[in-house]
Amino acid sequence: MEEYNSAKTNYQMLNSLISSYLSLKNSVKSIDEYGFTIDVKTINTQIQTQIDINLNLMKQYRKVIDRYEEDIREFILCFLVEKDTKKVRLSRQINLTKDYCGFIQPICGLKETPDKSFEDCVRQGYKEFPDRKNCLYRTAIYFSIIDSIVPQRIEPEKNEEWIVYDLKELSNLKVTLSVETNLKQITEAIQNEFKRISRKCKRVNISKTVTNSNI
């Protein structure tokens, strides 16, 4: 994973440098057109040499990136959050064929169809899967606010009953790495949504009060 991240960082850095070199070439052209005495040919040759060096390096980094991304696996997690209690419903996974068996998870599954919001929510990692393949994986994490009802357990052979947990309890649970490493952001996103809903409700109530007083 370190090799992949390093390759992506260096690739983006070199790409940015090339953009700067191209801008520099345009500046040299403008200086020459204004009649200043400069060695345009020598400067442009030096700039182009740097561009060519960077392009060759980018090709090498691109090969590393492509090698990791050729078998990328994408997943979706969705936290079910009760509207009244502000608690989340999670379930212990019991599918022995999965590497996350024994972990407590929200709704999860493979990403199978294009999703415009996926890139905005994605979290990335690298690990060995049950089929012994070391792969790059990307997980999009969502949450959905629901009524305080017990969700249907569609696959009882894969997960236990849904249990309600307070947000503060999540850090003490055995959760997957995608959840563990992003727990702070997940918690804050859920809390901020309830704050937004609360402010919206207050505005509605104030509006109703003003309307009634006018009557």
Question: Do β-strands 73-82 and 122-128 pair in parallel, antiparallel, or remain unpaired?
Answer: unpaired
User: Does residue 95 belong to any structural domain of this protein?
Assistant: yes
Same-domain pairing of 81 and 177: yes
Same-domain pairing of 48 and 104: no
Same-domain pairing of 137 and 157: yes
* Max intra-chain CA distance, the chain: 82
User: Does residue 182 belong to any structural domain of this protein?
Assistant: yes
Structure confidence at residue 135 (pLDDT): 67
User: Does residue 144 belong to any structural domain of this protein?
Assistant: yes
User: Does residue 62 belong to any structural domain of this protein?
Assistant: yes
Same-domain pairing of 79 and 56: no
Structure confidence at residue 126 (pLDDT): 45
The structure tokens 């089929």 sit at 131
Same-domain pairing of 52 and 80: no
C-alpha 16/C-alpha 10 separation (Å) is: 10
Same-domain pairing of 45 and 151: no
Structure confidence at residue 59 (pLDDT): 96
Range of the domain at 10: 2-69
- Report field, pTM of the whole predicted structure over 0.75: no
* Domain CATH number, residue 173: 3.90.79.10
User: Does residue 121 belong to any structural domain of this protein?
Assistant: yes
C-alpha 37/C-alpha 28 separation (Å) is: 11
Mean pLDDT by 10 residues, the chain (215 residues): 86 95 94 89 94 96 86 79 90 82 78 52 47 66 82 81 90 87 88 85 56 41
* Total domains present in the chain: 2
